[in-house]
Structures are given as structure tokens and as C-alpha cells.
Amino acid sequence: MATLYLASGSPRRRELLTQIGVSYLTLSAPVDENTLPDESPIAYVERLARAKAQAGLATLGDTHEAVVLGADTAVVLDGRILGKPADRDEALATLSALSGRSHDVLTAVALVSAQQVVARVVTSQVTFRPLSSAEIEAYWASGEPQDKAGCYGIQGLAAVFVSQLHGSYSAVVGLPLCETAALLAEFAIPCWQSLPDHSQ
């Protein structure tokens, strides 16, 4: 079986791969995350996922049995990508804009080997209930929004803001597990590795 490498520093993506019983090694593959002129959000996340996976593969000496997974997530409101907040004021403005509205979360996953490249983009729609200014301030003070695209983490304290979710919960967290499992199968990498046998 090929060795899977995760080209991501995200603890959430590590937890999600572990959740579905996939063994992997991690590696660092920093890429330029600036958008290109006139680039759509879907094209942006897919390009970054592919770039991360390809950059990860390039760091390996022997790529014969290696498969590298790269992923990227973007929160999109009114066609605009909401990145990680630069400061408190930007975070408060972003959370105020999300309040009482629906937005899209796009997550791309790419798998790269020496022989092939495959990628998928999953779109989910998240709706926030109306948020008070006191809630937004308290959420910022928790520290959770500071390193999150769109200034929130659905798997954390911000779960109480979400009134509706249409799509993939795991994709909003950072890795669409159904689609990831299907892509891994194309590289003969199974999920549920080393499950105990309880059939007796």
C-alpha cells in the first residue's frame, strides 16, 4: 500500500483523517495563498489544494510509493472570500456580516502521486442565526476566531451560531470525508485500517 502524506498543519484535518481510520505522515508544504486576478473562489480553493499536494510531493526524495493529500477551505459571502482576520476590528466586521445570513464554505481536496493528480471541490451552505454584538465580542475574546477562515470554527464554540447546514459538516471543518475516502480508494488507500474484529 502507498504511504499517504498530509500536506497540512491543520489539527482538524489530522483529526478527521484519524477519525476514518487512515494512517498518514505529515509534512510541511507552504504555498502562496494569495488569490489570482479574476479567480473564482472554487478555482482558488482547488488550485491551492493541488499546489499544497504538489509542493508536498516535491519535498520527498522517493515518490514511488508516495501519495500526498492537500486541502484548502474558503468561507465565501456575496462572492468574496473571507480569510483569517488580520485583527479584532476585521473579525468583528466579518462576524457581523455573517450574522443572520447564509454563506458558502468551499473545501477542495487533492491527491497527488508521481503518476496522477485528482481533486474535488465540495460546497456547503451554512446559515448563522442573528448574533448580538455582545456575543460577537465574547467570541472574539475566546481566541477561537483568530486563526480561522471566516473567523469561526463550526467544530468549536461557534457551533451555537449555526442554525442550518446544507452539505458536508466535515468539509466545513476542513476535509470532506465522503469525497476524500472516494479519492483515496483511487490510490488503493483504504479507510478503516486496522479495525479490531468484533464479528466473533
Three-state DSSP at 148 gives coil
**How far is the CA of 168 from the CAs of 32, 38, 83, in angstroms?**
27, 27, 20
- Per DSSP bridges, beta strands 102-112 and 80-82 are unpaired
Is residue 154 a contact partner of residue 173, using CB atoms and an 8 Å limit?
yes
Q: Catalogue the long-range contacts made by 58-63 (C-beta closer than 8 Å, 24 or more residues apart).
A: 58/29, 59/27, 59/28, 59/29, 60/5, 60/27, 63/113, 63/114
The span from the CA of 174 to the CA of 152, in Å, is 12
Grid cell listed for 166 = 446544507
Is residue 186 a contact partner of residue 111, using CB atoms and an 8 Å limit?
yes
The span from the CA of 62 to the CA of 68, in Å, is 12
72 is known as an active-site residue: yes
Paired residues of 72 in beta bridges: 108
Which of 72, 78, 87, 147 is the catalytic position?
A: 72
Residues with a catalytic annotation lie at 72
